Structure 1
Amino acid sequence: MPHALRSPAARGAVPTARRRLLQLSAAAPLASWVASPLLAAARDDAPAFARVRPGEAGWPADAAWQQLGARLAGQLVKVRSPWPDCVAAPASAACATLFRQAKNPYFLGDEVALTQTLGWVDAWTSSPSVYAVAARNTADVAAAVDFARQHRLRLVVKGGGHSYQGTSNARDSLLVWTRHMHDATLHDAFVPQGCAGVPPVRAVSLGAGALWAHAYDAVTTRGGGYVQGGGCMTVGVAGLVQSGGFGSFSKAFGLAAAGLLEAEVVTADGITRIANACTHPDLFWGLKGGGGGSLGVVTRLTLRVHELPETFGAVNFTVRAASPAAFRRLIALMLDFYARSLINPNWGEQVRLRPGHVMSVAMVFQGLRRAQAVEAWQPFLDALARAPQDFSVDFAPLKIVATSARTFWAPTLMKRALGFISRDDRAGAPEGNVFWPGDQGQAGQVLHGYQSAWLPADLLQHARRPALCDALFAATRHWGVSLHFNKGLAGAPPEVLAAARDTAMNPAVLGAFALVICGAGEQPAYPGVAGHEPDVDLARRETGQIAAAMDELRKLVPQPGSYVSESNYFEPGWQQSFWGANYERLLAVKHRYDPQGLFFVHHGVGSERWSDDGFTRLD
């Protein structure tokens, strides 16, 4: 999911004291990693690799770029951002159109210079590469990797472009843009290369530029199967799998990474490798949750296809509590109900605790009939009804709905009419360019602050539940929090847990009942565009409130772990937070396949060897 650090002048906007505090806060957790034998070996053995910027000695001459363009048969693009024109003429019709289009995730994805998130205040601003390779195939990707290695360029990879951390864009770089590599091929009996004797399984092969909306269309709507992917339909397939990847039904079908059967990947030496459990198994393991952009450029993924449940469904309603005391009681009721009835493979998605003593329920279910879902929720609704002086319930037009699983992602007329699904509004846009209306808030956003933490299931034990309730209530005194139940695997079947254990994800996810998220932002906005600039003062205030809210929960779980794709840009001790005990093994994979550090992303495997701009080597 865009890495473009600001210019030196813009980076100076970060208060010096705060920047120093961030550096100091990260220093202690980093010490153990710096001292690790594997990292020491990576430092000692790898030859120096100093990247170059435009205008510096070693930057490719025009003739070199022309040779690359000829090799790519026209797929080398000189990138130009539309934002400078908007900065120059903020009141123009063209600028107004750009800000309107920035709310369409498909428009953003189809523009080589743009990313889904436009920045993070005091961290990064979405900025284009100098050149981009609009890759059509693996050979194009290999050509870009070779060119970047030979000329010592900063290399960036973008598929869906959803990175909150800014890892899919960077100034002064060469971009590998995989958007046009989006083929989908279904297999009735797939056996990974080199794995003779392994029982064949149903699978789907997807190009690195495929989005989950298109994957679900191919596998579910047209193919009648299920592939574990992301909840947001405009997220890229390759990025989600490499980050671990959660979908609405992860408690039933597991991590997206755990469903990976085989990957085609171009490594730093420009060689195209097939990685699976039998061929390059170490690289294969690292790609399953080790984070995108650190180990190579994935060009194709083959994922397991599961049997499709008969039904999918959703539960949506809002509860307003009359007082702080009633809100705390409401949180307690929800935790009791969840621990008793919902921590199982049938249920996923989230409950939000919002300012004003409001709880929003946005849950989904699979494999149940509507009547069964109603029966499951009735005890909770009855408890609310018994206290009308404390709770008022606002139901959506259809509070509990069920549908054929095969049409869940299909843009049917009824779903469009009821506002359940939205479509790409550009003339001539493909029929399958759809997204959930609730995800439109991510399009064109500028983040103010964002943190996440896994909450272990033992907090739901009867004796510990009151403390969890108190911590959640205390957190809401500072900021709203969301409990994403599908992003913790406690309650999943044993085979799902076993498959997740064989990924690079932080093992904390195995015993977590939910990922708690606090975030804030605005949209759309862009620095320097008069009338549309990010509100820096507000962002800093909200960042402090988010930190205070999460600190309440960390009193219960001091080192909870965090999901790499939905985490704090300034995460201290990110190696432990994102990958836990798996980080040293990931370093070994990094050292084997990219010893010079060609691939760099913020807080990616091995990135502690580089300054935050990716150009200055620290060792």
Structure 2
Amino acid sequence: MNRREVLKAALAIPFLSGMMMGGMTSALAAVGGTTVGGLRSRVRPGDPGWPSTAEWSRLKQDVGGRLLKLESPFANCTATSTTAACQEALKHLKNPFYIGDTPALTQTSGWAQAWTSQPSVYAVAAESTADVIAAVNFAREHHLRLVVKGGGHSYQGTSDAPDSLLVWTRHMNKVTLHDAFVAQGCAGVHAPQPAVTVQAGAMWIDAYDAVTTHGGRYVQGGGCTTVGVAGLIQSGGFGSFSKNFGTASSSLIEAEIVTADGVARIANACTNPELFWGIKGGGGGCLGVVTRLTLRTHELPEFFGAVFGEIKAASDDAYRALIAKVVGFYQSDLFNPHWGEQLKFHGDNRLGLSMVFQGLTAKQAEATWAPFLDWVRARKEYSFLKEPGALALPAQHFWDADFFRQHAPGIMVDDDRAGAPRNHVLWAGDQGEAGWFIHSFKSAWLPASLLRKDRQSQLVDALFACTRHWDVELHVNKGLASAPADAIAASRDTATNPQVLDAFALAIIAGSGDPAYPGMPGAGPDLADARHDAAHIGKAMDELLKVAPGAGAYVSESDYFQPDWSTAFWGANYPRLAAVKRTYDPEGLFFVHHGVGSEAWSADGFTRLR
């Protein structure tokens, strides 16, 4: 327990008068009960209040038999022998579809000195809203730690917890297109609009396949195809083309959510509007269990495309000059709704280009980049490790698995299991995150003011200094400065930290190791290496924060140990979010690490501190 938690615990000691009241409080706590101040603790297996076998059987009956007893596939692995489950898991360890289909696993295997992937005791494999209601009521009535998982991509371990009951929504994955959708209660207030309704367990590849590949329209979602739709919307959500379409949560028209009282509520701008606002970026697993979402869809641009390349500088001075050139070029030619994704600055004096575009042809993209690339080619101190080139394809094929298999094999990777849906593919570059063990991860929104002519040199110096410690990526699609006015307005009406509206990029600095699920054969995580990486990553981020003091962070891509998390993730929106939490979950049934209201609980979510 760190010093902060010790102080929290000390402040939470109840100063009760009278031996009788003290004895009553102790007795209630022993069974995970409640006191005058509400729920004080949750129960674990072996505690007097843990549900009996008969009670678990009744829950199983209530959910149509879909109550699973969970065990990690690595539970019975040893250094010398492996079970069939262990062998299967090891075979598919870099397949995020397999990991997502295994309720005892999470897409991240852990974080050094923070958490490790450990399954819940039981899971309700929900197939309907009624299943979710039954699970929520059971957890509330029996004072259980409740966890929600759809995609399971949480870096911070919020989609698993030992000694808990899991609501697993993977099988709720229906996608329905609408030509003219109006939210409930909004008839005559809002005009009908094209939309898509997605159940909570669907991944973005499911949504893109229906909306774009087969429907010829666009829905703003995530860049990684295996991320869950519901989780991304609740955390704000960015995709490759957010610079034009805004955050994913800003496209939300309506949601159904099961709140802590076991009621399935409709939330939209006309019904439960504060709950609706909180769902849009307030963080997954904090306010309830989202069971379905309806998102507006957009007219599809003619083309989507990309520019990739890598440039090496021969000296530190040349690299600094290259950074200055690309920063200036970004401000003058790329700082607009057409361009997204990443500029990568490496410690060995390399610049990586991993940019995407929308609404341009390949020739227009090449013409845009020509002045910058001509400048590089004219100087002998630079060389191309990967010759830059622009490619474009009809936007309707951007997530078309069969199109990529035919025309660009290897760019997208299949779910390699027998009988897998043909549309279940992911970008090859995202495969590295499957099962990874995080050493450190930090993010910061960089204000667009750093792109002003009089401040660019400060940004250049900070980026160069940062790379002396660690690589840094600028995700320019995750800052909305220079986005269209309608995208800014829609994103402003979400719970996400308002800093995103004035940021030109989200800086990400991170390090990781190989998968390290508990029980896996092998040496396990290299914690000494992790500590080394974390120290250097911290120094690198410190260099950026010198020119962006007080920079907020993106809740889904942030530091597990973020000291000022409520301000960093939500800024001035946090008090309003906390009020929504008090209204719909006054006892704190829904707990996630650094989620809204989590300051009232111990780090493991089992003991109320205040």
- TM-score with structure 2 length normalisation? 0.93
**Deviation (angstroms), 1:85:** 1.6
- Equivalents in 2 of 1:46, 1:496: separation in Å? 43
In the alignment, residue 175 of structure 1 is paired with which amino acid?
Answer: L
Residue among 237, 241, 260 paired with 2:252:
260
1:618 aligns with 2:609: yes
Q: 1:338 to 1:54 in 2, by over 3 A?
A: same
Q: 1:91 to 1:112 in 2, by over 3 A?
A: closer
- Equivalents in 1 of 2:36, 2:285: separation in Å? 22
In the alignment, residue 530 of structure 2 is paired with which amino acid?
Answer: A
**Aligned partners of 1:99 and 1:524 also within 8 Å:** no
- Equivalents in 2 of 1:223, 1:250: separation in Å? 20
**Aligned partners of 1:49 and 1:597 also within 8 Å:** no
Tell me the residue number matched to 2:600.
Answer: 609
1:369 aligns with 2:348: no
**Deviation (angstroms), 1:135:** 0.2
**Deviation (angstroms), 1:525:** 2.1
Q: 1:180 to 1:346 in 2, by over 3 A?
A: same
- Equivalents in 1 of 2:80, 2:104: separation in Å? 19
Tell me the residue number matched to 1:596.
Answer: 587
- Equivalents in 2 of 1:419, 1:479: separation in Å? 29
**Aligned partners of 2:236 and 2:281 also within 8 Å:** yes
Q: How does 1:581-592 map to 2 (within 5 A)?
A: 581-592=572-583
**Aligned partners of 1:90 and 1:531 also within 8 Å:** no
- Equivalents in 2 of 1:174, 1:213: separation in Å? 28
Tell me the residue number matched to 1:10.
Answer: none
- Equivalents in 2 of 1:138, 1:516: separation in Å? 38
Q: 1:210 to 1:91 in 2, by over 3 A?
A: closer
1:306 aligns with 2:298: yes
**Deviation (angstroms), 1:73:** 1.1
Q: What is the CA deviation profile of residues 22-69 of structure 1, one whole-angstrom value per residue up to 9, with x for unaligned ones?
A: 769x99xx9xxxxxxxxxxxxx99623421001001110000000010
Residue among 129, 133, 146 paired with 2:124:
133
- Equivalents in 1 of 2:336, 2:40: separation in Å? 49
**Aligned partners of 2:327 and 2:456 also within 8 Å:** yes
**Aligned partners of 1:207 and 1:299 also within 8 Å:** yes
Tell me the residue number matched to 1:100.
Answer: 91
**Deviation (angstroms), 1:530:** 4.6
1:409 aligns with 2:399: yes
**Deviation (angstroms), 1:93:** 7.5
Residue among 216, 229, 239 paired with 2:221:
229
Q: 1:513 to 1:431 in 2, by over 3 A?
A: same
Residue among 131, 140, 147 paired with 1:149:
140
Q: What is the CA deviation profile of residues 174-232 of structure 1, one whole-angstrom value per residue up to 9, with x for unaligned ones?
A: 00000000000000000000001110000000000000011000000000000000000
- Equivalents in 2 of 1:505, 1:91: separation in Å? 45
In the alignment, residue 517 of structure 1 is paired with which amino acid?
Answer: I
1:66 aligns with 2:57: yes
SS of structure 2 residue aligned to 1:203: strand
Q: How does 1:95-244 map to 2 (within 5 A)?
A: 95=86, 97-197=88-188, 198-244=190-236
- Equivalents in 2 of 1:295, 1:565: separation in Å? 16
**Deviation (angstroms), 1:526:** 2.8
- Equivalents in 1 of 2:605, 2:393: separation in Å? 47
- Equivalents in 2 of 1:129, 1:45: separation in Å? 29
In the alignment, residue 240 of structure 2 is paired with which amino acid?
Answer: S
Q: Which moved more, 1:585-594 or 1:552-561?
A: 552-561
**Deviation (angstroms), 1:98:** 2.2
Residue among 483, 489, 492 paired with 2:480:
489
Q: 1:128 to 1:251 in 2, by over 3 A?
A: same
Matched pairs, number: 584
In the alignment, residue 505 of structure 2 is paired with which amino acid?
Answer: A
Tell me the residue number matched to 1:551.
Answer: 542
SS of structure 1 residue aligned to 2:443: strand
Tell me the residue number matched to 1:38.
Answer: none
In the alignment, residue 77 of structure 1 is paired with which amino acid?
Answer: L
SS of structure 2 residue aligned to 1:117: coil
> What fraction of aligned residue pairs are identical, expressed as a percent?
59
- Equivalents in 2 of 1:241, 1:537: separation in Å? 36
SS of structure 2 residue aligned to 1:68: helix
**Aligned partners of 1:49 and 1:596 also within 8 Å:** no
- TM-score with structure 1 length normalisation? 0.92
Tell me the residue number matched to 1:456.
Answer: 447
- Equivalents in 1 of 2:377, 2:443: separation in Å? 33
SS of structure 2 residue aligned to 1:412: helix
Q: 1:150 to 1:414 in 2, by over 3 A?
A: closer
Q: 1:145 to 1:94 in 2, by over 3 A?
A: closer
